[in-house]
């Protein structure tokens, strides 16, 4: 896994701000060459993991370190004789990975598994031995990290490795934490590899590992990985940025003085807070230099304010905006609306009297810990979870912290037909940087669906129903009927409508509106397995089928205008005893609308002559109804039969071509009695496949 890694001092300049910073923080670069196991007493840790013990106790003062001692002894003994390409003992790698996690605040179980993460793969140690010595939990994590089988996938090796990693991570997010720390140490030690191999590993890290670190909220790992990748893939821009930072280091930095001003303001306001300057890392400096052009002294860092409670964050914000000139466009509230990776903070900026613009981040200390370490800071999310995956390995573990994006990855990766498709779609999925949550309402249960921003009803259908969504024909969003291509917004309520015909399938046009990998893979697979049906869905739309009867006119509406032709408006289809209004139109005809029809205001606005109209004493009436239904054979015949059973005459009928498995029927009907209209509409709704009947 990491036997190719070498020089642990590679790219030490990638984070020069860590050397300049005179405060305690997560320092991921401290570990040099670890000492080999030397004489130790039974009651203390070997010297080689003294750094790990110190970092771990800083976050967990009461932690039992005896299990770390036993794990180190097993790891060192089993790896003894194995060397890295740099000539270092192999045990330095698991030690470095474990220190990274200890600095982030990982709990003891994670650190124990990290020390052992290569033993089962690269030595004679077995999972049974790990379970017997360290328990089911550590064994479960080690098993998740281990490559169970060494198969030469050739070009597919990297995709298959990450597919396994995702599956393992789905059962325990701590597996991903160890994998990220493992990759970080390997990225630090790429010095002796061939340039082309360095570039290949850096590209994979850029495309997959860095987005995963971002989504898991582990900013401390993400920022260093970004700098290391930047140095390998863009050496010229990296050197230019390094020179820019070096030139700034020799100039007067205005941020410390600005931080002192902020401290004074908060002290006068009685707000207890820590204020410090956080220099930007290389990639951040490079990005803002491209957007802002020439950088000023305050652009090379940001001010971080740490407080105790959430309310203090807003108190700090109020003082800053009162005492300084705020830059309103820079304000963002990630406390009220956290990012999908658990990140919470207030972001703002203000202008100083000297003309500098200082960016400020305000958060609580707990928010700061989560912002730096993400899921690593959550400890063991499975402490009370059931069932126990150690006793039933096939049972999925209940994870209250698993984000929606990870669940989606686990779902669609099972359907990815080949490694290339998996790799391409994985990169596209990880490129999504925002999520929305919609509420589902299927008549029997209400729950939530997490989707990427820009997702459509098609994505919601496959997220909720899987392959059964092939028969989806429409949706109601917030109670209103809409097409499957409609984009969803955060907080929408979605009711999906499924066809009863099991042979229904998606249209090729669905791929234009599907955003999630699960939906796109399922649709593509169906279209490939049904080429004839796929061609049919893309054929030109047919003209509507119309059946017209012999009657017409204004039904039993009478206008107070002799010899005038009376027409019932098709936009609102008035029937007795609706309140109506009449207007004279071209040709001397009078068109009759319901009084609340939108066309009434339009007629008056254009100056149409108003004509008094009333209903005849007879009870018969004419009305136009629209039936929304699933496409199926004999539907027109069944609807016509239902109408006939109610004793209603069909004046005309129009059937539109199917759209997304949905068919729309419009009927102009002559009713013998207007009181029978509700019963007629109920009879039409009772026809199998019809899900809505309304007056036009």
Q: Helices 219-233 & 235-249, crossing angle to 10 degrees? A: 120
Q: Catalytic: which of 4, 27, 121, 411?
A: 121
| Residue 68: partners with Cβ closer than 8 Å, 6 or more residues away | 45, 49, 52, 53, 56, 108, 111, 112, 115
C-alpha dihedral over 187, 30, 26, 400, to 10 degrees? Answer: 60
- Please say if 207 is a catalytic residue: no
Among 527, 528, 525, 545, which residue's Cα sits nearest to residue 537? Answer: 527
Neighbouring CB atoms inside 10 A of 490's CB total 12
- Write down the residue that tokens 């720390």 correspond to: 181
Question: Rounded distance, CA 561 to CA 547, Å?
Answer: 32
Tally: H helices and E strands in the chain = 26, 22
Enumerate the β-bridge partners of residue 498: 472
Q: Catalytic: which of 27, 47, 54, 122?
A: 122
Q: Cis bond leading into 512, ω under 30°? A: no
| Residues 250/408, Cβ–Cβ less than 8 Å | no
The CA radius of gyration of the chain, in Å to the nearest whole number, is 34
- Please say if 121 is a catalytic residue: yes
Among 205, 166, 214, 208, which residue's Cα sits nearest to residue 408? Answer: 166
Tokens representing residue 333 in the block: 């509230």
Question: Rounded distance, CA 429 to CA 75, Å?
Answer: 36
| Residue 272: partners with Cβ closer than 8 Å, 6 or more residues away | 307, 308, 312
C-alpha dihedral over 372, 374, 378, 380, to 10 degrees? Answer: -120
- Write down the residue that tokens 């709990």 correspond to: 107
**CA distances (Å), origin 49, targets 35, 43, 91, 274:** 9, 14, 11, 31
Q: Can you point out the beta strands (E) in 425-556?
A: 435-441, 446-452, 472-477, 480-482, 493-498, 545-548
| Dihedral pair phi/psi, residue 38, rounded to 5° | -115, 180
**CA distances (Å), origin 241, targets 7, 17, 208, 228, 247:** 23, 13, 24, 13, 10
Question: Rounded distance, CA 97 to CA 28, Å?
Answer: 10
| Residues 113/102, Cβ–Cβ less than 8 Å | no
Question: Rounded distance, CA 676 to CA 309, Å?
Answer: 65
Question: Rounded distance, CA 170 to CA 413, Å?
Answer: 11
| Residue 271: partners with Cβ closer than 8 Å, 6 or more residues away | 307, 312, 315, 316, 319
Catalytic residues: 121-122
């Amino acid at each position: 896994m990491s036997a190719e890694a070498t020089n642990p001092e590679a790219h030490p300049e990638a984070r020069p701000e860590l050397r300049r910073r005179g405060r305690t923080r997560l320092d991921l670069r401290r570990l040099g060459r670890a000492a080999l196991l030397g004489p130790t007493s039974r009651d203390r840790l070997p010297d080689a993991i003294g750094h790990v013990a110190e970092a771990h106790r800083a976050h967990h003062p009461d932690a039992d370190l005896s299990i770390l001692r036993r794990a180190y002894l097993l790891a060192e003994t089993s790896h003894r004789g194995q060397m890295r390409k740099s000539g270092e003992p192999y045990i330095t790698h698991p030690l470095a990975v474990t220190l990274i996690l200890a600095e982030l605040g990982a709990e003891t179980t994670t650190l124990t598994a990290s020390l052992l993460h290569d033993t089962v793969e690269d030595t004679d140690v077995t999972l049974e031995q790990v379970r017997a010595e360290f328990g089911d939990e550590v064994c479960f994590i080690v098993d998740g990290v281990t490559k169970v089988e060494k198969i030469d996938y050739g070009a597919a090796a990297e995709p298959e490795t990450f597919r396994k990693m995702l599956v393992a991570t789905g059962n325990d997010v701590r597996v991903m934490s160890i994998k990220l720390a493992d990759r970080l140490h390997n990225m630090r030690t790429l010095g002796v590899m061939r340039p082309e191999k360095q570039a290949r590993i850096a590209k994979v890290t850029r495309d997959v590992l860095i987005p995963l670190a971002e989504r898991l909220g582990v900013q401390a790992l993400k920022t260093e990985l970004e700098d290391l990748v930047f140095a390998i893939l863009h050496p010229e821009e990296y050197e230019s940025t390094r020179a820019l930072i070096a030139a700034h280091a020799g100039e007067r930095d205005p941020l410390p003085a600005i931080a002192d001003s902020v401290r004074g303001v908060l002290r006068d306001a009685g707000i207890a807070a820590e204020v410090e300057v956080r220099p930007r890392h290389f990639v951040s400096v490079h990005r803002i230099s491209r957007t802002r052009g020439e950088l000023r002294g305050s652009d090379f860092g940001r001010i971080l304010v740490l407080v105790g409670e959430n309310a203090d964050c807003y108190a700090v914000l109020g003082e800053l905006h009162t005492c300084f000139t705020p830059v309103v466009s820079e304000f963002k509230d990630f406390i009220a609306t956290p990012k999908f990776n658990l990140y919470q903070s207030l972001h703002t900026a203000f202008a100083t009297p000297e003309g500098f613009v200082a960016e400020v981040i305000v958060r609580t200390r707990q928010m700061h810990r989560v912002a730096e370490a993400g899921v690593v800071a959550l400890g063991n999310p499975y402490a009370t979870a059931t069932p126990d995956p150690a006793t039933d390995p096939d049972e999925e573990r209940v994870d209250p912290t698993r984000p929606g994006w990870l669940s989606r990855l686990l779902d669609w990766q099972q359907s990815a037909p080949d490694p290339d498709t998996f790799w391409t779609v994985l990169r596209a999925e990880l490129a999504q940087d925002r999520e929305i949550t919609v509420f589902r309402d299927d008549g029997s249960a209400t729950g939530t669906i997490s989707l990427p921003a820009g997702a459509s009803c098609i994505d919601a259908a496959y997220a909720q129903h899987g392959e059964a969504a092939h028969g989806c024909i429409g949706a109601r969003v917030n109670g209103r009927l809409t097409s499957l291509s409609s984009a969803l917004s955060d907080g929408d309520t979605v009711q999906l409508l499924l066809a009863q015909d099991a042979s229904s399938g998606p249209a090729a046009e669905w791929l234009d509106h599907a955003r999630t990998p699960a939906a796109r893979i399922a649709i593509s697979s169906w279209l490939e397995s049904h080429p004839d049906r796929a061609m049919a869905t893309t054929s030109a739309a047919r003209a509507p089928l119309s059946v017209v009867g012999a009657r017409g006119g204004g039904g039993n509406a009478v206008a107070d205008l002799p010899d005038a032709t009376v027409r019932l408006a098709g936009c609102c289809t008035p029937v007795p005893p609706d309140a109506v209004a009449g207007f004279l139109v071209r040709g001397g005809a009078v068109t009759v609308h319901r009084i609340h029809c939108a066309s009434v205001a339009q007629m008056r606005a254009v100056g149409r002559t108003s004509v008094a109209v009333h209903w005849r004493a007879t009870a018969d009436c004419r009305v136009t109804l629209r039936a929304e239904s699933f496409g199926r054979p004999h539907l027109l015949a069944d609807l016509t039969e239902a109408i006939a059973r109610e004793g209603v005459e069909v004046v005309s009928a129009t059937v539109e071509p199917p759209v997304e498995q949905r068919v729309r029927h419009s009927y102009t009907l002559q009713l013998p009695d207007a009181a029978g209209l509700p019963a007629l509409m109920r009879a039409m709704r009772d026809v199998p496949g019809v899900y809505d009947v309304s007056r036009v």
